[in-house]
């Protein structure tokens, strides 16, 4: 959702919330016994057993220029929940009055292909929809934000109700924005070539039995590239 116009600096009327995606199932788990916080002499203690209290689909849009997060909780993913997120963002300034608003997204089923582009531009003519290449969702910067909420909000997962989980997620957005800065990419056009060399090298080691199967999984490319980006 955030690309500068070709050939120059972004104009004042070209706004972009950044990139969009969702965590499809964030579960609320109520521990059978209360979590004991850290204290001198021992670390946090979390009960293994829990009761399931339901799950949210967390949809978010990250403004890559302004380091702002726009998120919402839905009971499930889909076209309608995604468009509610778009409506939430596009109803705010500066996006509402922007001449062009870039939305970058991967190829998830809720916003895949030309049909998605047609739906968005019909309802919001200023939107310029951009899909990342297939199998390249790691290019979506909101994927950098999701691990942050996993560490800061969802660990340990101990929520008595779905409402408590939702409140924590949305409150963290405000807290995070107070200190957030745009993510600085380290990735250059030369890095895919170097990453390919690394993957090929790891593949040779795997053939000699020097790597575990985990290290040679289909996600190896994503792991190598992600380390270079962040």
| Higher pLDDT among residues 134 and 203, named by residue | 134
Q: Are residues 64 and 157 in the same domain?
A: yes
- Rounded to the nearest integer, the mean pLDDT of the chain is 82
pLDDT in tens, 104-132: 999 888 998 999 999 999 999 999 999 98
Q: Are residues 23 and 121 in the same domain?
A: yes
pTM for this predicted structure: 0.76
pLDDT in tens, 131-143: 988 877 777 889 8
Q: Is 21 helix (H, G, I), strand (E, B) or coil?
A: strand
Q: Are residues 172 and 73 in the same domain?
A: yes
pLDDT in tens, 38-76: 889 888 898 989 999 999 999 999 999 899 999 999 999
Please give the residue range of the domain that contains residue 135: 14-30+49-177
Cα angle 92, 79, 138 (rounded to 5 degrees) comes to 80
Q: Report how many domains make up the chain.
A: 2
Q: Are residues 72 and 165 in the same domain?
A: yes
Q: Establish if 184 belongs to a structural domain.
A: no
Q: Are residues 105 and 207 in the same domain?
A: no
Q: Establish if 36 belongs to a structural domain.
A: no
Closest by CA to 26, choosing from 74, 85, 79, 90, is 74
**How high is the pLDDT of residue 8?**
36
Q: Are residues 119 and 153 in the same domain?
A: yes
Q: Are residues 20 and 77 in the same domain?
A: yes
Asked whether residue 177 carries a pLDDT value surpassing 60, the answer given is yes
Q: Establish if 42 belongs to a structural domain.
A: no
Q: Establish if 6 belongs to a structural domain.
A: no
Cα distances (angstroms) measured from residue 103 to each of 31, 37, 178, 191:
39, 41, 23, 25
> Do 69 and 183 form a contact (C-beta atoms < 8 A)?
no
Asked whether residue 92 carries a pLDDT value surpassing 80, the answer given is yes
Q: Are residues 162 and 203 in the same domain?
A: no
């Amino acid at each position: 959702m955030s690309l500068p116009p070709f050939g120059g600096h972004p104009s004042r009327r070209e706004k972009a919330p950044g990139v969009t995606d969702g965590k499809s199932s964030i579960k609320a788990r109520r521990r059978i016994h209360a979590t004991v916080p850290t204290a001198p002499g021992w670390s946090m203690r979390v009960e293994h057993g829990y009761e399931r209290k339901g799950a949210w689909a967390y949809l978010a849009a990250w403004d890559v220029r302004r380091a702002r997060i726009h998120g919402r909780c839905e009971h499930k993913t889909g076209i309608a929940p995604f468009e509610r997120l778009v409506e939430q963002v596009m109803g705010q300034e500066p996006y509402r009055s922007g001449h062009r608003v870039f939305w970058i997204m991967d190829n998830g089923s809720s916003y895949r292909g030309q049909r998605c582009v047609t739906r968005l531009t019909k309802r919001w003519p200023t939107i310029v929809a951009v899909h990342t290449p297939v199998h390249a969702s790691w290019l979506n910067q909101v994927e950098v934000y999701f691990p942050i909420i996993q560490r800061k909000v969802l660990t340990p997962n101990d929520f008595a109700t779905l409402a408590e989980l939702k409140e924590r997620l949305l409150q963290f957005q405000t807290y995070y924005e107070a200190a957030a800065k745009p993510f600085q990419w380290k990735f250059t056009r030369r890095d895919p070539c170097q990453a390919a060399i690394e993957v090929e090298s790891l593949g040779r080691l795997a053939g000699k039995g020097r790597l575990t199967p985990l290290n040679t999984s289909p996600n190896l490319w994503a792991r190598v590239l992600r380390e270079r980006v962040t």
